[in-house]
Each structure stands twice: as structure tokens, then as C-alpha cells.
Structure 1
Amino acid sequence: MNHRDAMARKIGLLRSTGAVEELERRWEDADEDPPYATYVVVEIAEGAEPEREWPGGLGDFYRLTAAASFGGVDVRPEDQIAAQRPVDSAGEPIDDRQWVRIGDIGYEDALLMDAESGEVMVYVGSYFKYGWDSPAALTCADVPEFIDTVAIGPRHKEIRGPVDRQREPWWETDPWYLYLVEAGFVEEGQ
């Protein structure tokens, strides 16, 4: 199955199995606000026909859902997409490509897409504080691959950088990642 089909299947399953309602119930049943209380666990808007042609399968995503939140990953509505120039620690552009911000990772990091090729990057502007070589925490060939493997898949734990460079395994208590495992979107130990 290709990433476009997998993305559509997974979004359909989240809707049909009541993922939004289940995670809202878990949130309400929690004894205290967990450290991840600053983001919406999951929201999936109705799909809409995009107003323009987008590269990298972004239009296919918008036809499925006009905006969505998957754990700490928020994909913005089409009217909120804006140009963004990713820079390195010296403030220099990391490359000469035309990047657009299609979403947010938590409250500090950006989900960027190359406006020509459709490549997707999680951009961590403060990468140098962590001793990383690059502000690109992860990349995917396009939006469907990102949604399938990262937002609703096993690479979700990479949204905060390389797994082997993270201080603690935050995903072990993250409600979204735990739900992905329970629902079979991620296999134990992946």
C-alpha cells in the first residue's frame, strides 16, 4: 500500500473508530494535567477541496481533512499556509528552496514543505542547543508519507528529534503515541 492510500485509510479508521471521542474521554478521566496538556491530542476536520494545486500530496490531505491535529503535530488549514525561510544557527538560510509552513510541531517547531518538490521537514530552530548538526529533525518525501509514518505512525516519536539523542522516552507516556500502539497503527517496540 502506498503512503497516499495508507494516509486515507488511517484517517478513515480514526474517524470510524471514534479516536477523537476516546482521547477526549481519556483526557477528562485523567487525575491531573499531564505534561503534554498544552496541545490538543487529536482533531480531524472535515475534508474540503483545496483552493489551489499543492505539491507533495498536500491537496490529497486537504480533501481528507481541511486541518488536523495528531498529538503534537498540527497541520494548518490551507488559508494559514505561509512562506518561511528556515535558517541555521548563524541566521543563514539552510538552502535556496522555497519553503512554506504547513503546520506546527508543539509550540516551537515548524512543519515545513518545499513549495516545489513537496518534501516535508520538521524544522527545529533551536537545534544547536541540543548539539544537532541540522535543524531538520526529520524529513519525508511528501505529505502522505509524513502523515502515514510520522503523524499516525511509528516515527511519531521522532518529532522531537532523533530518538537516540532525546533525554527521555517521552512517547512511553504520550497519550497519542500510546493510542497509536493500542489501535495497531504502531507495533510494540517499533
Structure 2
Amino acid sequence: MHAKIALLRERGAVDVLDRLTTRRIAEQSGRRLGLRPGISLPEHYPDGLRALYEISDCPTFGDLDFHPANNFRPRQPIDAFGEIARPGDFIEIGRAGAEYILLDLDTGSASIYDYLYFRHNMDSGFVISCDSIPEFIDTVALGARYPDIHGPRKTWSTRWWRTDPWYKYLREVGMVPRLRPRS
């Protein structure tokens, strides 16, 4: 996580993404990359979240938009019947479009949770789950799992991530391997 974010800063990625993002995408989605100066979070937050915010306060990575710390709020994942989907002490730390980025304060695990998960024929609203914030940043925000943030790729009629400036940039700088053409 530290090395990848340092590389983005070194390459001037914020300015590059601003130039690559079309006006239409910017109007729909806002800024594609935001790396504000870091801050210190209180000790009661898990180490991974504190480490991320020390690097960058409320960062944005494509469609992943982390909240300022004063906007973290309790958010319990529920299933289609309104029952608690997974016990834990969850807070919402950001959004992935209409989906929530949830942090389990008990375990430090980070997830994207979609309350409308049934639209993707999923058994659970946990679209993506990682054991920690650093894993989430490395594999999802700055990695190959980014196209799954809005539900499984197979459920999309178009491959939206192929035209997403953030995902294209990740491929360009080698954080996501380029797909080989089929023979």
C-alpha cells in the first residue's frame, strides 16, 4: 500500500488522471484520484485504516471514495429480509458508487457491501472482502480486483472498467497486468 501510493505521487498521477478524465466522466463520477496530505486518526481505529489515513486523508481511487474521518458512521450490513447479515461492529468509511465501503472494527477487515446485492444474483451483499485495509488498497483500489467493486464482472452487459480512466491508468503503470489477446 505504502509503495504503490508513493509511486502514484512520484509519477504525478493526480495530475495525469485529471488530464485523462473526460469532462463527461468527471461530471458523473468526480475526481478519479485524490491523494490529500495524511492525518492521524485516533488509536481506536484499526492499524490498517490509521496507516492509510497517515498516507492520505480521505483518498479517492477511481470509484472508491473514502470519507473524512468525521464522516465515518455505524452501518450494519443487512440481508434482503432486513436481518443482520454478519455480526460485527461495522462503520462506513467510504463509498464505491452506490455501494458502501465497510470496516469491521472488531477484525479490521474491509468490504464493499451492496444492499441491493440480489440484482447481481448474489447470495450476500459482501461484493468484495479483504482481511485488512492494506490488502483492500493493494488488491482492489490499486489492483486487479477493481473491476469487481460494483458486483461480479459477469453480471455486467458492458465491460465498464475497460473505459474507466482509473483502471486504464492502473494497467498503464503496471499495477494491473495487461490482458493478453486471445489466440
> If the TM-score is normalised by the length of the shorter chain, which range does it land in?
over 0.9
**Percent identity (aligned):** 34
Total equivalences in the alignment? 180
Return the match for 1:23 from 12, 17, 25: 17
CA offset digits 1:105-149 (Å, max 9, x no partner): 01x110001111011110011111222111010100010000011
Secondary structure of the equivalent of 1:37? helix
Which ranges of 4 or more aligned residues in structure 1 deviate by more than 3 Å? none
Secondary structure of the equivalent of 1:101? strand
Structure 1 position 19, deviation (Å)? 0.6
Is 2:66–2:95's contact at 8 Å kept on the other side of the alignment? Answer: yes
The letter for the 2-side match of 1:68 is: P
> What do you get for the CA RMSD once the two structures are aligned?
1.7
| C-alpha spacing 1:92/1:156, structure 2 compared with 1 (3 Å) | same
The letter for the 2-side match of 1:67 is: C
The letter for the 1-side match of 2:40 is: E
Alpha-carbon separation, structure 2, partners of 1:35 and 1:128: 29
For structure 1, list consecutive stretches of 5 or more residues without a partner in the other structure. Answer: 1-6
Query: TM-score by structure 2 length?
Result: 0.92
2:156: which partner in 1?
166
Alpha-carbon separation, structure 1, partners of 2:145 and 2:30: 19
The letter for the 1-side match of 2:62 is: G
2:96: which partner in 1?
105
Is 2:120–2:151's contact at 8 Å kept on the other side of the alignment? Answer: no
Query: Are residue 84 (structure 1) and residue 75 (structure 2) matched?
Result: yes
Structure 1 position 35, deviation (Å)? 8.8
CA offset digits 1:51-72 (Å, max 9, x no partner): 2332251111111111100000
Query: TM-score by structure 1 length?
Result: 0.89
